[in-house]
Structure 1
Amino acid sequence: MSTPSMTELALLKALWRHQPLSARELHEHVEEELGWTYSSTRKTLERMLEKRMVTQRVRHGVQVYEAVLEKVDTLAAFARDFGKRVMEIDTPLPVMMFTGSKLVDEQELDQLEQLLQHWPEDVDGADGAP
């Protein structure tokens, strides 16, 4: 999985909530948070298309975007990375750190707990975190 940057994550979060969105609509959702121009949103979307984080299609004559990266998988990877790199925690993270999140519902919280408790290890012994 390609790890999104913080700005790419902002676009993904908007898509997870409202997809499909045109570039203009997406920009309107993140403009205040990111404080950047429409051309910056377009450029970021182009990079995200190249990385296969989003797809693009025509809907009612307008190019729209949808997230390819799964929300729960992406959030679990970020949480795991934070736990290991920032907090130096090698044990599974408690899912209660996500309680009250506006980004995940109860079902997604259960999925997140499963991912965090049973994080896949790759063959070399390095984890799958970003």
Structure 2
Amino acid sequence: MSVPSITELSLLKALWRQQPLSAREIHQQVEAELGWSYSSTRKTLERMLEKGMVNQHLVHGVQVYQAVLEKVDTLAAFARDFGKRVMEMDTPLPVTMFTGSKLVDEQELTQLEQLLQNWPDDADESQQ
């Protein structure tokens, strides 16, 4: 799984909270955080559509988006990437760093911990 960029993650988080959403509705949710124009939100959604991160369909005459990427899987990949590339860690990040997050509930936290603990070795990843 490719790890979303920070801006792509912001749009995904809006969709994980509520979906489907139109581009305008997504923009309204991320505008303050990202500080960019509506056209930038649209362009990012187009790239995410090309990458298979979101899908798009028509509802009552309006194009809406839904996240294709699962929240827990995506967060695990993001955390793994951060631990490895940024923190230069070979072991999984402790799940306690996610405690208190507004993004995941207890069940998702348990799933996240399992994913991080059972992450495939780098040798396995390179053979895929």
TM range (shorter): over 0.9
Between the aligned partners of 1:65 and 1:78, the Cα distance in structure 2 is 22
Corresponding residue SS for 1:119:
coil
Between the aligned partners of 1:127 and 1:90, the Cα distance in structure 2 is 14
How much does 1:92 deviate?
A: 2.2
**Please, which runs of 5 or more residues in structure 2 have no aligned partner?**
none
Aligned counterpart, 2:97:
97
How much does 1:87 deviate?
A: 1.4
- For the Cα contact (< 8 Å) 1:119–1:127, is it kept in 2? no
Between the aligned partners of 1:33 and 1:90, the Cα distance in structure 2 is 32
Between the aligned partners of 1:88 and 1:42, the Cα distance in structure 2 is 34
Aligned counterpart, 1:32:
32
How much does 1:84 deviate?
A: 1.2
* One-letter code aligned to 1:19: Q
Q: Which consecutive aligned stretches of 4+ in structure 1 deviate over 3 angstroms post-superposition? A: none
| TM-score for the superposition, normalised by structure 2 | 0.93
Between the aligned partners of 2:64 and 2:108, the Cα distance in structure 1 is 25
| TM-score for the superposition, normalised by structure 1 | 0.92
Aligned counterpart, 1:62:
62
Cα shift readout 1:52-80 (whole Å, capped 9, x = no counterpart): 10000111111100000111111111111
Between the aligned partners of 1:55 and 1:78, the Cα distance in structure 2 is 20
Between the aligned partners of 1:72 and 1:92, the Cα distance in structure 2 is 15
Between the aligned partners of 1:57 and 1:120, the Cα distance in structure 2 is 34
Between the aligned partners of 1:106 and 1:57, the Cα distance in structure 2 is 31
How much does 1:126 deviate?
A: 6.1
Count of aligned pairs: 126
Corresponding residue SS for 1:36:
coil
Root-mean-square deviation over aligned CA pairs: 1.4
Larger helix percent: 2
Between the aligned partners of 1:101 and 1:7, the Cα distance in structure 2 is 19
Between the aligned partners of 2:61 and 2:54, the Cα distance in structure 1 is 19
> How does 1:47-58 map onto structure 2 within 5 Å?
47-58=47-58
Aligned counterpart, 2:116:
116
**Please, which runs of 5 or more residues in structure 1 have no aligned partner?**
none
